[in-house]
Structure 1
Amino acid sequence: MTTSLMSDHQSGYVDLQVNGYYGIDFNSDELTAEAIHKACQRLEADGVAGILATIITDEVERMATRLARFATLRAADSLVQRIVWGFHIEGPFILNEPGYVGTHPRSAVCPANVTDMQRLLEAAEGLTRIVTLAPERDAGMAVTRMLADQNICVAAGHCNPTLNEIDAAIDAGLSMFTHLGNGCPLELSRHDNIIQRILSRAERLWISFIADGVHIPWPALGNYLKIAGRDRAIVVTDAISAAGLGPGEYELGDQKVIVDEQGATWSADRSHLAGSSATMPQVEERLRRELALSEDEISQLLVYNPQCAINRQEAT
């Protein structure tokens, strides 16, 4: 990897969306202490200072069991405590329409409700840092308010709210959008679509992007970053167990994921992307090569802004 970020920022990369790494699936029901330790060793070797382990949509009790298991294993390992700063709970309160639901199992998607959210928070043992949900599925923005009141970052994602619903969610405490340009259909209305609506509110939201060159073409990502602004944009990998490895077949929860020769991570039927195989060193190199970003710009996207978004340090 290049050493620019590590030399200027001893803290290293911060990745707010990691589903797994180096052959380890964080959504596995058989996750072991050895597996998490191995993943964190590799993350640290790749210059990563901190991640949010991402648990995706499933039946609420299965999600809760996975969160509790991970939290217990983390508590017994100092390396894992250092690398895994907390959890990003992505779902199950998202839009279940094709395209918007992405790789999340539609059968487990449900409307947001305080009871299920509290169950997940308790299982996570105080480690929840981000919850991604669909504002239009949060009646009265009750869950958004509940989370914001606990200083948990509320992110919209896998959703298609109206502009009025977005504004109401922001007023209730919404502060982020998860991987803009993804978690939506391949074909959208030219002008009135979720991407345009969120970009129109960029001054009020953190906006994350998957910068692997697969999820968003580089010219589009360059445009999105300009509109979102250097001070509000965040880059994530959305890494799955394939990260750090090569083409092949991998797992994401109960799903099989195929990684092709270009590093794209496809569902088994190749109908949609399912996470990413990218690593942060690869992302840094591509942002520099494809978008000609400066060291300061890359550092803000990969180090500083992610910390600010989850209140690890004060924004300026």
Structure 2
Amino acid sequence: MTTPKFIDLQINGYYGVDFNQDNISAEELNAACVALERDGVEQVLVTVITDDIAKMALRIRRLVRLRSNDQLVQRMIAGVHVEGPFISTEAGYVGAHPVYAAKQANWREMETLLEAADGLVRIVTLAPEQDPAQEITRRLVEEGIVVSAGHTNASLKELDAAIDAGLSMFTHLGNGCPRMMDRHDNIIQRVLSRSEHLQIGLIADGAHVPFFALKNYLDIIGINRAFVVSDAISAAGCGPGVYPLGDQEVTVGADGVPRAEDDSHLVGSATTMQQMAENLQCRLGLTATEIRRLTYTNPLNQLVGSVKAVSLRMSGSLKNGGHQATTT
């Protein structure tokens, strides 16, 4: 029997290794990639979350350097997903990100992160309200980078303006928002109302979104415009315990769910993509074809599109009107 393959566009760590540590070693990164490959994952975007710009750049630069020296890591890590720091500072919407580092977007700081990644940024998650003139969104799209809304309380007007500027994705719908919101006019309903314009990420662990709600979301979005991410932290594949995520420590209980100490919010997931695929089959009743589209085909299409766009940009074709480029 062929082992299922997965593409994970948002992963913060795996099998005891935190990708947001300042001093992650070559051995640790390799070990995480070995575990991912063993568990059926074909490629990932390592996700670097909100912190001081200098710290984020340091972490990205180190990951990129370690990747360049390891063939397995190069094969497994397709690029970087920058989640923040240009996200909402409101309680609930900021989620597990350190609120002191969340801020309004500016190109100088964004460029610092892009330069640290040396052309490997594939997705940037930001809050549209933190980019009020859509300058950062437009410039990122011009660079061939997918812009995803997330950790946001954008109004419908702000969301529409961002979509007009090139926003094409939404990060883990149903999360990065408070437990208590307006029953009708809330970010989930706004995004669902614009789902024909967006590729929408979902975490299928049953904790971030209850399975009945996940089914409702998929019915509205449609299988062709949704994709599953693990949003895994270093606890994935390890069981209960205390695990790092950047400068914070996260406790995973007996139920396998990472939560903040005060239980105010979840902190990533500890669920593997294989487990999520099984959830889609057993809890939602999806077919093998539907599951493959959500966990492999759709995220792969996003990844391939971004790689091609970045390669075109770096070759000068987008800027100069050329038609030939190579991808790596």
TM interval, short-chain normalised: over 0.9
Separation in structure 2 between the aligned mates of residue 238 and residue 308 of structure 1, nearest angstrom: 19
Q: Which residue of 1 aligns with 2:317?
A: none
Aligned: 1:173 with 2:145:
no
Shift of residue 283, structure 1, vs aligned partner: 0.6
Shift of residue 271, structure 1, vs aligned partner: 2.1
Contact 1:135 1:159 in 2 (8 A): yes
Separation in structure 2 between the aligned mates of residue 269 and residue 192 of structure 1, nearest angstrom: 27
Separation in structure 2 between the aligned mates of residue 5 and residue 218 of structure 1, nearest angstrom: 25
Q: Percent identity?
A: 55
Shift of residue 30, structure 1, vs aligned partner: 1.5
> How many corresponding residue pairs?
307
Contact 2:8 2:43 in 1 (8 A): yes
Aligned: 1:300 with 2:293:
yes
CA-based RMSD of the aligned residues comes to: 1.2
Question: 1:176-195 counterparts in 2 under 5 A?
Answer: 176-195=169-188
Gaps of 5+ in 2: 308-328
Q: Which residue of 1 aligns with 2:139?
A: 146
Match of 1:16 among 9, 16, 20: 9
Question: 1:153-168 counterparts in 2 under 5 A?
Answer: 153-168=146-161
- Which amino acid in the other structure matches residue 247 of structure 2? D
- Which amino acid in the other structure matches residue 80 of structure 2? F
Contact 1:307 1:313 in 2 (8 A): no
Contact 1:257 1:274 in 2 (8 A): yes
Match of 2:93 among 100, 104, 111: 100
List per-residue Cα deviations over 1:191-218 (Å, max 9, x = no partner). 1000000000111000000100110100
User: Secondary structure of 1:291's match?
Assistant: coil
Contact 1:37 1:79 in 2 (8 A): yes
List per-residue Cα deviations over 1:261-282 (Å, max 9, x = no partner). 1111112332210000000111
- Which amino acid in the other structure matches residue 228 of structure 2? V
Shift of residue 310, structure 1, vs aligned partner: 2.8
Q: Which residue of 1 aligns with 2:322?
A: none
Separation in structure 2 between the aligned mates of residue 173 and residue 313 of structure 1, nearest angstrom: 13
Separation in structure 2 between the aligned mates of residue 300 and residue 237 of structure 1, nearest angstrom: 15
Question: 1:115-126 counterparts in 2 under 5 A?
Answer: 115-126=108-119
TM-score w.r.t. length of structure 2: 0.92
Q: Which residue of 2 aligns with 1:220?
A: 213
Separation in structure 1 between the aligned mates of residue 99 and residue 275 of structure 2, nearest angstrom: 32
Q: Which residue of 1 aligns with 2:195?
A: 202
Structure 1 runs, 4 residues or longer, greater than 4 Å off: none
Separation in structure 1 between the aligned mates of residue 127 and residue 45 of structure 2, nearest angstrom: 20
Shift of residue 311, structure 1, vs aligned partner: 3.0
Separation in structure 2 between the aligned mates of residue 305 and residue 313 of structure 1, nearest angstrom: 13
Aligned: 1:84 with 2:77:
yes
User: Secondary structure of 1:173's match?
Assistant: coil
TM-score w.r.t. length of structure 1: 0.95
Contact 2:125 2:148 in 1 (8 A): yes
List per-residue Cα deviations over 1:276-308 (Å, max 9, x = no partner). 000011111111000000001000000000011
Separation in structure 1 between the aligned mates of residue 114 and residue 3 of structure 2, nearest angstrom: 33
- Which amino acid in the other structure matches residue 215 of structure 2? G
- Which amino acid in the other structure matches residue 149 of structure 1? E
List per-residue Cα deviations over 1:59-108 (Å, max 9, x = no partner). 00100000000000000000000000000000000001100000000001
- Which amino acid in the other structure matches residue 104 of structure 2? P
Q: Which residue of 2 aligns with 1:257?
A: 250
User: Secondary structure of 1:139's match?
Assistant: coil
Shift of residue 4, structure 1, vs aligned partner: 6.0
Aligned: 1:44 with 2:37:
yes
Separation in structure 2 between the aligned mates of residue 108 and residue 120 of structure 1, nearest angstrom: 14
- Which amino acid in the other structure matches residue 57 of structure 2? A
Separation in structure 2 between the aligned mates of residue 32 and residue 135 of structure 1, nearest angstrom: 35
Contact 2:145 2:306 in 1 (8 A): no
Q: 1:293 to 1:313 in 2, by over 3 A?
A: farther
Separation in structure 1 between the aligned mates of residue 271 and residue 38 of structure 2, nearest angstrom: 15
- Which amino acid in the other structure matches residue 142 of structure 2? D
